[in-house]
């Protein structure tokens, strides 16, 4: 996206560090699949182009990125990354040059950008201007950005919760899970979360106000664990992980339960995903399993943002970030998601302002 | 349900043939799991009881009955059959004795009854009075009964079809499938069905007006077959079979597709159901997989009945039955469902009137 070294007179060029994908991945990704390289960027946008040049402040690490590291024969739901080019994902940036009528130099935005210091965005319609600076800017990669909108839309619009219902959240300390659990508590639900370490379990109970939580890595039998935590069964399962956890949950759902489904992180690095054997539960219990994507809810972003900023300012929602410093640490931060190394929302500070 | 030989003076007793479950089943059921025995029935109902005595005319054979032949540790969504007692299922019957205020001798009803000649129903609220006698009575076990309401509610209420959408129906010549396909055609959809014999495939195309159909037993690769029949992909899959067919369908769904799910006949006789490995398609394509049960739609029965009787009388819906004669042939008719021996809706004529 950043221009190569140009020749136009009077335009300043700067080095531009970027994280590129070196090779497509099968199985578990490693840091070696990526490389931090340095190119250059021209500090200008083509006149009359409606483009903007962004200085990236924070970029987000999100589980779905794994899918873009695979070479697909057929187009996937998000495009594959291009080898040798900067990875792409949501981030928080500052406009440093603009030919776009609604964006001026100095504006703060969030949206899809490159894993690099500077990114030229030819088509900035998908960027959201940041209006609230009374919260940390980095929050726009998480609680006020894509993961926050995912949690809010998935829980309320797909999950259709009612007060008093029993809610289970997997990957519960992650960017989406921590918010789903808190939104469920605000709705008057009983909420249990699962996570992959005792530290995370502790956070769920003490910081995020979950009614209970467990370390799934310590459970021999997920089905038995869920029976223990939900003797009455589960009304809403916010699905982030897939595989054996989904199978155990299906056996513990209540009639007319709902499973908003936005990710299946346990399956992303498997060459052959695990089978789920008890789908007849969907019939027997009249379940609704519904996939959704945050892109379909971008039109509701402002409504969501005001609601969530309100919760944050009133102290009704807590939020934990795990910030890696510098692009050189970005590959490791991304890989860490798939082993659950991060505690809270993982992001990378590219440049602190 | 039928009373044992009584002693009350003046009350006539008759022999009552019945099909009982001899033992609980694991794996594929056989005729030997059932037995036709003869008891007696008293031609009376307890005074002041609100009960009715039914003479059964037709009983229905439905795939879901397999679940009731299993001994469950925990209660299933429908109760297990009781060993030594008559099997239970929907049927068409005539009231021959009544203490119920809304049902009088001679009334024709459909609803849950026994696989026997006479059944005493203590709690007849769940029986529907039959008002249309301009159609064959047996239709109330199918197109105007439980399978018809299943097709109608599942397709319209769960599937939410739009004109021009692509609809795939498995087990398409069965009681539910043949109706779903025709309702889809009436809605202006493009409809393809799968069935297990060339005879059935031919019926789908010539009698039921499907746009196309295929014999799944002749396809080495279901995924490739669906790609051939749906190069554009599938908007609605009416799920009757589960297992590998569901897996192939998931790979061929379009974005925002819907999968109304009311049965998974391919899995009922497996001791370990097959795994479905590509559930991530639910996320990637934002699919809705939704189980439903006809019981939840009984309140809409009269609306459905009027609509469907209209279609039948106008020749807009065709309907094919496979009628076994006599209770002695009922076990074989039921077993035949699981090998696909029936052509059209399978039922048993207990007594023709």
Residue in A242, A281, A285 closest to B280 by CB: A242
The pLDDT of residue A130 is: 96
Distance CA B137, CA B165 (A): 34
> Taking a C-beta distance cutoff of 8 angstroms, is the pair B135, B84 a contact?
no
User: What is the least distance, in Å, from the CA of A246 to any CA of chain B?
Assistant: 10
How many CB pairs below 8 A link A and B?
98
Checking if the pLDDT of B8 tops 80, the result is no
Residue A253: name the closest of A281, A219, A291 by CA: A281
Q: What tens digit of pLDDT does each residue of A219-247 get?
A: 999 999 999 999 999 999 999 889 999 99
Q: Which residue in this structure is represented by tokens 């500077």?
A: A118
Task: Pick the range with the lowest mean pLDDT from A66-80, B16-30, B150-164, B173-187.
Answer: A66-80
Among all residues of chain B, which has the CA nearest to that of A277? Answer: B275
Strands across the sheet containing A190-195 = A212-215, A190-195, A166-169, A234-238, A253-261, A288-291, B288-291, B253-261, B234-238, B166-169, B190-195, B212-215
Q: Which residues of A make CB contacts under 8 Å with B? A: 67, 76-77, 242, 246, 261-264, 267, 272-293, 296
Residue in A275, A288, A296 closest to B288 by CB: A288
Question: pLDDT under 70 in chain A at which residues?
Answer: 1-9
Among all residues of chain A, which has the CA nearest to that of B295? Answer: A286
Q: What is the DSSP string of B156-198?
A: IIIT---TT-EEEESSTTSTTHHHHHHHHHHTT-EEEEEESSH
Checking if the pLDDT of B4 tops 70, the result is no
The pLDDT of residue B151 is: 97
Residue B86: name the closest of B331, B336, B345 by CA: B331
Q: Which residue in this structure is represented by tokens 């908007």?
A: B235
> Taking a C-beta distance cutoff of 8 angstroms, is the pair A240, A169 a contact?
yes
- Name residue B111's beta-bridge partners: B91
Torsion of CA B153, B248, B252, B211, to 10 degrees: -60
Checking if the pLDDT of B241 tops 50, the result is yes
pTM: 0.91
The pLDDT of residue B263 is: 85
The pLDDT of residue A9 is: 61
């Amino acid at each position: 996206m950043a221009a190569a070294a140009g020749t136009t007179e009077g335009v300043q060029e700067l080095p531009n560090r970027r994280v590129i994908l070196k090779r497509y991945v099968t199985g578990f990704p490693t840091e070696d699949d990526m490389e931090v390289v340095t190119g250059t960027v021209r500090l200008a946008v083509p006149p009359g182009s409606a483009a903007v040049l962004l200085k990236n402040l924070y970029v987000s690490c999100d589980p779905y990125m794994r899918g873009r590291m695979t070479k697909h024969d057929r187009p996937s739901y998000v495009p594959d990354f291009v080898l040798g080019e900067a990875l792409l994902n949501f981030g928080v940036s500052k406009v440093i040059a603009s030919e776009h009528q609604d964006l001026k130099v100095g504006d703060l935005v969030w949206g899809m950008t490159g894993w690099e210091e500077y990114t030229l965005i030819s088509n900035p319609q998908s960027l959201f201007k940041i209006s609230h600076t009374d919260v940390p800017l980095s929050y726009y990669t998480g609680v006020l950005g894509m993961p926050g909108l995912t949690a809010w839309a998935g829980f309320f619009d797909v999950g259709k919760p009612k007060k008093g219902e029993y809610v289970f959240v997997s990957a519960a300390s992650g960017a989406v899970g921590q918010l789903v659990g808190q939104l469920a508590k605000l709705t008057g639900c009983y909420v249990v979360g699962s996570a992959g370490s005792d530290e995370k379990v502790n956070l769920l109970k003490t910081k995020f106000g979950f009614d209970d939580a467990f370390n799934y890595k310590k459970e021999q039998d997920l089905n038995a664990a869920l029976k223990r935590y939900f003797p009455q069964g589960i009304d809403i399962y916010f699905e982030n992980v897939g595989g054996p956890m989904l199978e155990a949950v299906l056996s513990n759902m209540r009639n007319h339960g709902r499973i908003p489904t936005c990710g299946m992180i346990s399956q992303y690095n498997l060459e052959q995903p695990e089978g789920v054997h008890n789908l007849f539960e969907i019939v027997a219990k009249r379940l609704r399993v519904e996939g959704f994507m945050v892109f379909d809810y971008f039109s509701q972003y402002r409504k969501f943002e005001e609601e969530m900023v309100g919760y944050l300012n009133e102290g009704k929602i807590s939020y934990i970030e795990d910030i890696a410093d510098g692009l050189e640490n970005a590959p490791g931060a991304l890989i860490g998601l798939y082993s659950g190394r991060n505690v809270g929302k993982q992001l990378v500070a590219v440049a602190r302002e």
